[in-house]
Amino acid sequence: MKRVHSLEAEPTHSVWDRSLEPRLRIAPGDEVLIACVDASGGQVRPGMSTTEYLGIDRTRIHALTGPIWIDGAEPGDVLQVEVFSTRHTGWGWSSVVEGLGLLKDRFREPYLFHWNLGSDSTSSLAPAIVPVRPFLGVMGVAPAEHGSFRTRPPGVFGGNMDVRELCEGSKLYLPVFNRGALFSCGDGHAAQGDGEVCINGIECPLNVTLRFRLHKQMNLDAPLVEASDSQLLDSLGDAWIVVETGTALYDAARAATGRMIDLLMSRWGLSAVHAYILCSVAMRLRLSQVVNEPVHTVTAAMSKKILPARELFPIQ
Amino acid sequence: MKRVHSLEAEPTHSVWDRSLEPRLRIAPGDEVLIACVDASGGQVRPGMSTTEYLGIDRTRIHALTGPIWIDGAEPGDVLQVEVFSTRHTGWGWSSVVEGLGLLKDRFREPYLFHWNLGSDSTSSLAPAIVPVRPFLGVMGVAPAEHGSFRTRPPGVFGGNMDVRELCEGSKLYLPVFNRGALFSCGDGHAAQGDGEVCINGIECPLNVTLRFRLHKQMNLDAPLVEASDSQLLDSLGDAWIVVETGTALYDAARAATGRMIDLLMSRWGLSAVHAYILCSVAMRLRLSQVVNEPVHTVTAAMSKKILPARELFPIQ
């Protein structure tokens, strides 16, 4: 029989560690209403200044809720996590932090930006209208290895994957490495572009409802997503796309993002840091070709739905 | 006054070279009906065997049509290329070639596959239904440098970009490096996934109508695409997405592609080489996060529209 549990955010944890004591024990098939604070663990507040932001304790990031013990889960099983609902609280933030982000050498100046969030979009970065599709940047199970591991790098156990398709209606499948699986989650994003280039999506507290199921002894090497379009509104529609080619994909991604920022600045009048943040919350990054040796091509796309209409080149 | 020209495919050329004699001279605003042979230069024919395929002259790839001289074009200008229509002839091919492709170490056995193409889709690789959206893999202008350059690597002049969004309704903007611009195109693809992982899309002859315009002395460093959704049907819809994390994007892309192939084989019964080809013509490759150091996450997605419904995990 399905049961519905709820789990408060506090006390959060900020490491993956198979020895952490479970905060909730559930049966397969159960739903859990999970409160997640924002990735800062509630340290960032509406109205906080950039100067105050510099003083937060970064060791508390990502401030995850969990672990949740799933009865009967054993190494070799697959944990299915179905995302039923993801509710933000109307506010979020994005930042630039020295030494982090895809363009860390271009953007060194710390900056904190606050968003007012509607149910479907936000116009805080006007003239851009950013679609809002909340998802958890971090969902994972305890790793196989003994020890405490900071949460920034994702892995085969899931974790800080920042896969934007994990919004309402989607399912995540994770390999289980420990008895009880030991699932934790957090790092709510009201929106995020591919790449999360500035280091943040729209960071926000999220109240989520997840349903857990167990598939016994099925082969799965790493996370798999069954994405639902029902809430995704994935279509790019009409779009501006910069095409960058380079010998390394990472460099091509950096160049493409840099050119998209330049375009947003020169044609839509955004400041450099606002353009960077807009890319981080709304741009798509694709590997257009990875075979035309010795170079690869990355495309960075911004939907025309997000920006006011502009003719970038004079109409003739 | 707009004029409409037409340009036969032959004689094709297979290098970028600013000293090539223009085959057609047009004015800005003119349209050109351009015939393009397939990337092999017409050497691959319907019904050809893999053994025969091994004997083709690969120095003739990509067998481009052009150059076209655009009156008044000068270095520093931007050439606008609007894609009005792209018509295939009902047939195409894809291949695996030893030493080429994203998974060249896994797929060493040469293989030639033939497609029968409908106007909107092809079921040649049943049970997969592959959407057909023809575009030119190669569109470019003569590079700034003197000399003859093989066409495989793309660059700031465009070329072999394999950007699948360049289908009907889209516009390509290219920097001009030489008087007359010297535009050439070819490498028709009836469909292609992000990455073109096996080295081919659905290679095919294409008859295209392009309209050329000139924007005098505008700053553009590298190709820019203004993508139209009208023919794109870009929405992924419901999808299966594998999530791979690694220290290098290229390695993560390889791992994600490999896992998608495994999934197509184990759950949809495709042979390894057919799964590889299906990925090459229909899979999406995204950079989900490029900032969670020291690792990056690539996602490979296959729309559920392409494959018969399967529950990958038992329904409970």
Tokens 């995540």 sit on residue: A172
Spatial separation of the C-alpha atoms in residues B243 and B295, rounded to whole Å? 13
pLDDT for the residue B4: 96
Q: Residue A228's pLDDT band (boundaries 50, 70, 90)?
A: confident
Considering only the beta carbons, identify the residue of B155, B238, B288 that sits closest to A164: B288
Token pair of B251 as six digits = 């390695």
pLDDT for the residue B228: 86
pLDDT for the residue A313: 85
Q: Residue A59 carries which DSSP code?
A: G
Contact B262, B270 (CB under 8 A): no
Residue A273, sorted as left (phi over 0), alpha (psi -120 to 50) or beta, turns out to be: alpha
Put simply, the answer to whether B161 touches A197 (Cβ < 8 Å) is no
According to DSSP H, which parts of chain B are helical? 50-53, 249-268, 272-282
- CA A17 to chain B, closest CA, distance in angstroms equals 19
Token pair of A268 as six digits = 């839509």
> Using one digit for the tens of pLDDT, what is the confidence trace for A261-275?
999 999 999 999 999
| pLDDT score of A284 more than 50 | yes
Tell me the CA end-to-end span of chain A in Å, nearest whole number: 67
Put simply, the answer to whether B160 touches A289 (Cβ < 8 Å) is yes
Average pLDDT over residues A306-313: 88
| pLDDT score of A189 more than 70 | yes
Q: Residue B34: beta bridge partners?
A: B7, B208
Interface probe with B: pick from A287, A303, A306, most Cβ of B within 10 Å = A287
Interface probe with B: pick from A212, A288, A316, most Cβ of B within 10 Å = A288
DSSP string, B16-37: E-TTSPPSEEE-TT-EEEEEE-
B168 Cβ under 8 Å from any chain A Cβ: no
Cβ-Cβ contacts under 8 Å for A5 (sequence gap 6 or more): A24, A26, A30, A31, A32, A33
Average pLDDT over residues A195-206: 97
Spatial separation of the C-alpha atoms in residues A83 and A226, rounded to whole Å? 11
**CA–CA–CA angle A149, A152, A157 (5° rounding):** 65
Q: In terms of CA atoms, which chain A residue is nearest residue B104?
A: A291
Spatial separation of the C-alpha atoms in residues B60 and B152, rounded to whole Å? 11
Considering only the beta carbons, identify the residue of A242, A250, A253 that sits closest to B224: A242
A251 Cβ under 8 Å from any chain B Cβ: no
* Residues in chain B within 8 Å Cβ distance of A225: 239-243, 299
Q: In terms of CA atoms, which chain A residue is nearest residue B280?
A: A289
pLDDT for the residue B316: 60
Is the pTM above the cut of 0.90?
yes
- CA A225 to chain B, closest CA, distance in angstroms equals 5
Considering only the beta carbons, identify the residue of B101, B288, B291 that sits closest to A199: B291
Contact B103, B257 (CB under 8 A): yes
Considering only the beta carbons, identify the residue of B28, B195, B259 that sits closest to A287: B195
Q: Side chain identity at B50, as an amino acid letter?
A: T
Token pair of B54 as six digits = 């091994």
Ranges of chain B whose pLDDT falls below 50: 231-232
- CA A118 to chain B, closest CA, distance in angstroms equals 24
Per DSSP bridges, beta strands A65-70 and A24-26 are parallel
Q: What are phi and psi of B45, to 5 degrees?
A: -125, 155
Interface probe with B: pick from A290, A304, A316, most Cβ of B within 10 Å = A290
| pLDDT score of A236 more than 90 | no
pLDDT for the residue B314: 77
* Residues in chain A within 8 Å Cβ distance of B226: 238-241, 312
Interface probe with B: pick from A96, A296, A313, A315, most Cβ of B within 10 Å = A313
Domains of chain A are 4-230 (2.60.120.580)
Put simply, the answer to whether A215 touches B314 (Cβ < 8 Å) is yes
Q: Nearest CA to B17 among B219, B157, B125, B132?
A: B157
Q: Residue A219's pLDDT band (boundaries 50, 70, 90)?
A: confident
* Residues in chain A within 8 Å Cβ distance of B299: 163, 165, 225
Considering only the beta carbons, identify the residue of B241, B245, B290 that sits closest to A165: B241
> Using one digit for the tens of pLDDT, what is the confidence trace for A17-69?
999 999 999 999 999 999 999 999 999 999 999 999 999 999 999 999 999 99
Average pLDDT over residues A83-104: 97
Which helix (H) or strand (E) segment holds residue A253: the answer is helix A249-268
Residues 44-73 of A with CB under 8 A from B: none
Spatial separation of the C-alpha atoms in residues A81 and A79, rounded to whole Å? 6
A238 Cβ under 8 Å from any chain B Cβ: yes
* Residues in chain A within 8 Å Cβ distance of B173: 312-313
Percent of chain B whose pLDDT exceeds 90: 91
A40 Cβ under 8 Å from any chain B Cβ: no
Considering only the beta carbons, identify the residue of B194, B199, B223 that sits closest to A243: B223
Q: Residue A103's pLDDT band (boundaries 50, 70, 90)?
A: very high
A102 Cβ under 8 Å from any chain B Cβ: yes
B164 Cβ under 8 Å from any chain A Cβ: yes
Spatial separation of the C-alpha atoms in residues A29 and A26, rounded to whole Å? 9
- CA A163 to chain B, closest CA, distance in angstroms equals 5
SS3 state of residue A39: coil
| pLDDT score of A194 more than 50 | yes
> Using one digit for the tens of pLDDT, what is the confidence trace for A157-184?
999 999 999 999 999 999 999 999 999 9
- CA B192 to chain A, closest CA, distance in angstroms equals 9
Spatial separation of the C-alpha atoms in residues A29 and A19, rounded to whole Å? 24
Taking one residue from A and the other from B, the number of pairs with CB-CB distance under 8 angstroms is: 257
Q: Side chain identity at A107, as an amino acid letter?
A: F
Q: Side chain identity at A90, as an amino acid letter?
A: G
Residues 195-234 of B with CB under 8 A from A: 195-199, 213, 215, 218, 221-229, 232, 234
Contact B207, B33 (CB under 8 A): yes
Put simply, the answer to whether B154 touches A218 (Cβ < 8 Å) is no
